Chains A and B, each alone.
Chain A
């Protein structure tokens, strides 16, 4: 099962990279080569990469904000769910 999560992580990462490349080229007016180099640095900065990906996907690819947010910020609801789960587990383990 973990293999499928790994594949999903890599695929989403690549889509995010392409979205950031197009977003940077669109916003800064630079050519694709420099946008690619910049995107490689930006992609793996948490939150910054996601926000830049959302910008590129919405502005250049015409995705809805919901679609872009769901794809690039998927870890936020997962993190919240995990925190709730861990919190609930610690509460119940004390009783």
Chain B
């Protein structure tokens, strides 16, 4: 059964994303940031230059992590606004942040989406979804 394309619509606030697509997209996002980090490190820039180069990537990464979480939540039939729960989690202390991060990842990667269409859109998995994407 086909799943939603992992490298597409990272910034969309309207689609649903299934588990496999979410995990692949998160992995790709991590690899992109790792590659940027390695390339910047290779040039041994000053702190200010590194900040100047990194800032747009980190900004896009943060927005993307919220929108990807929102897409997965919508697939579960929940509102994408719940992704904003990352905000208090991210400013919490390291232990609480780590525990919440692991718990959220387990939930996002394991809870299946609602079967068939829900109020946030069509099922991202299956032949019907494939036909809609190719149309």
Contact = CB atoms under 8 A, between A and B. Distances in A.
Interface of A: 1, 3-4, 7-8, 10-11, 15, 63, 67, 71
Given A1-B10, A3-B60, 4 more contacts: A3-B11, A10-B56, A15-B53, A67-B43
A1 B56 contact: no
Interface size grouping (class) on chain B: 10 to 19
Interface of B: 7-8, 10-11, 28, 32, 36, 42-43, 53, 56-57, 60, 64
A1 B57 contact: no
Dominant SS at the A interface?
Answer: helix
A1 B28 contact: yes
Given A3-B60, A4-B32, A63-B43, A11 B53 contact: yes
Contacts of A71: 43
A4 B60 contact: yes
Contact of B57 (A4, A15, A63, A67): A4
